[in-house]
């Protein structure tokens, strides 16, 4: 007789929109989203985190405090999720916490990726074992520690008759290439997702993000600037490759805009949206030319202008949300579900990385376990 296991996944992306918390039920190898909940970051804490993520100098005191404060927020998200779902902590096998990425630097002589949100605090405040620090074991094996969600994408979205690409558009955009004949043929960060658009609209308007891409839709794409953006070396790197908002940053954008001082802010926004779309579609056309369907998840799935532009560029390939796939998973919860799935992999002693995606020398069991 099969027996259900319950895991919680916690995820906060580089856009820092909030902490996504999901309760996932596993029955044998089948999985189902039982409940989802999102907790907004307190504004002061979000501001401090955004400053830390710029890579500017900070004190050890500030870093340590942010680690604990983030841990408390992640714990609060898990507790509110359980309350809403009507489930007791004793019924949860473990929490998989991605943490908040504040720096991702896979290309240095001593590569590292840094996520904060103290897992000991989460374990203590929830009474549940926590699996965290997923990226660094992959990096110790020579990988880039990202992206880690492709293994989950394969488990959740593989289709035996259709070549699929799973496109996650968060602060950074990444793709997973899922051939119909099984396995994964690739997965990597394509470049900026929402991060540059979010930063630009916050700088120039009172809005935290461009709702439905309406501000970008009202602007004009500046083709010379777009070409300048797309000339960045990152877009010409072969996978495995990964990046972060510390690379595609406000400084990066300011440097690229230096020779275009007369452009309107709205035209820059329109051009940034095209940068995201063009870099994604070029990656799919080049690395997954036999794609039969693109499934979109992440916050960018709600940007109508972005998804419409991508759909036009990729015709006749259908571009639809993950909620319209056979798995029927809401685009907002896919990444958090991935870390519930990865936590289960770890507790069962099963590797969670894919060397062909991250560049690691071999499969490894990811993360550290912090007992309840």
3-state secondary structure of 29: coil
Per-residue confidence (pLDDT) for residue 236, from 0 to 100: 97
Per-residue confidence (pLDDT) for residue 156, from 0 to 100: 93
Per-residue confidence (pLDDT) for residue 330, from 0 to 100: 95
CA distance 190 to 174: 5
Per-residue confidence (pLDDT) for residue 1, from 0 to 100: 47
CA distance 333 to 158: 17
pLDDT < 70: residue spans in the chain: 1-2
What six digits make up the tokens of 26? 């596993």
Name the CATH superfamily, with its identifier, for domain 4-144+333-370. Answer: ATPase, nucleotide binding domain (3.30.420.40)
In 106-161, which ranges are E strands?
Answer: 112-116, 130-132
3-state secondary structure of 311: helix
Walk across the sheet containing 172-178 and list its strands. Answer: 186-192, 172-178, 164-169, 293-297, 319-321
Length of the chain: 372
Per-residue confidence (pLDDT) for residue 256, from 0 to 100: 98
* Intrachain domains 4-144+333-370 and 160-324 with the same fold: yes
CATH assignment, 160-324: 3.30.420.40
CA distance 295 to 324: 8
What six digits make up the tokens of 157? 């979205």
What six digits make up the tokens of 194? 């929402």
C-alpha pair distances (Å), 180 with each of 21, 133, 253: 30, 32, 38
Which DSSP letter does residue 314 get? Answer: H
For residue 328, give every residue at least 6 positions away whose Cβ sits within 8 Å of its Cβ, in sequence order, or none. Answer: 322
pTM of the entire structure?
0.94
Map out the domains of the chain as residue ranges: 4-144+333-370, 160-324
């Amino acid at each position: 007789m099969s027996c259900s296991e319950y895991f919680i996944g916690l995820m906060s992306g580089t856009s820092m929109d909030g902490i996504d918390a999901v309760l996932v039920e596993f029955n044998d190898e089948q999985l189902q989203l039982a409940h989802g909940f999102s907790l907004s970051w307190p504004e002061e804490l979000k501001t401090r985190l955004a400053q830390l993520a710029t890579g500017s100098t900070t004190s050890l005191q500030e870093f340590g405090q942010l680690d604990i404060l983030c841990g408390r927020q992640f714990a609060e998200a898990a507790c509110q999720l359980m309350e809403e779902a009507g489930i007791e902590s004793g019924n949860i096998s473990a929490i998989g916490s991605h943490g908040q990425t504040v720096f991702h630097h896979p290309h240095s002589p001593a590569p590292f990726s840094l996520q904060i949100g103290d897992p000991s605090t989460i374990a203590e405040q929830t009474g549940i074992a926590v699996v965290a620090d997923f990226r660094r074991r992959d990096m110790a094996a020579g990988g880039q520690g990202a992206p880690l969600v492709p293994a989950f994408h394969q488990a959740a979205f593989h289709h035996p008759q259709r070549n699929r690409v799973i496109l996650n558009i968060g602060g950074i955009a990444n793709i997973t290439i899922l051939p119909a004949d099984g396995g994964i043929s690739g997965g990597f960060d394509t470049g900026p997702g929402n991060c540059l658009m979010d930063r630009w609209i916050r700088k120039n308007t009172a809005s935290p993000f461009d709702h439905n891409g309406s501000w970008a839709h009202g602007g004009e794409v500046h083709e010379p600037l777009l070409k300048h953006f797309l000339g960045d070396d990152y877009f010409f790197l072969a996978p495995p490759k990964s990046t972060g908002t510390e690379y595609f940053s406000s400084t990066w954008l300011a440097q690229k805009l230096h020779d275009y001082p007369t452009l309107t802010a709205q035209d820059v926004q329109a051009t940034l949206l095209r940068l995201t779309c063009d870099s994604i579609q070029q990656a799919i056309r080049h690395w997954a030319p036999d794609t039969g369907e693109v499934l979109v998840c992440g916050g960018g799935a709600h940007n109508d202008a972005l998804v419409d532009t991508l759909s036009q560029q990729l015709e006749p390939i259908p571009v639809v949300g993950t909620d319209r796939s056979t798995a029927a998973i809401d685009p907002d919860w896919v990444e958090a579900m991935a870390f519930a799935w990865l936590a289960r992999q770890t507790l069962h002693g099963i590797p969670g990385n894919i060397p062909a995606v991250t560049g690691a020398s071999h499969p490894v069991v990811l993360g550290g376990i912090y007992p309840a």
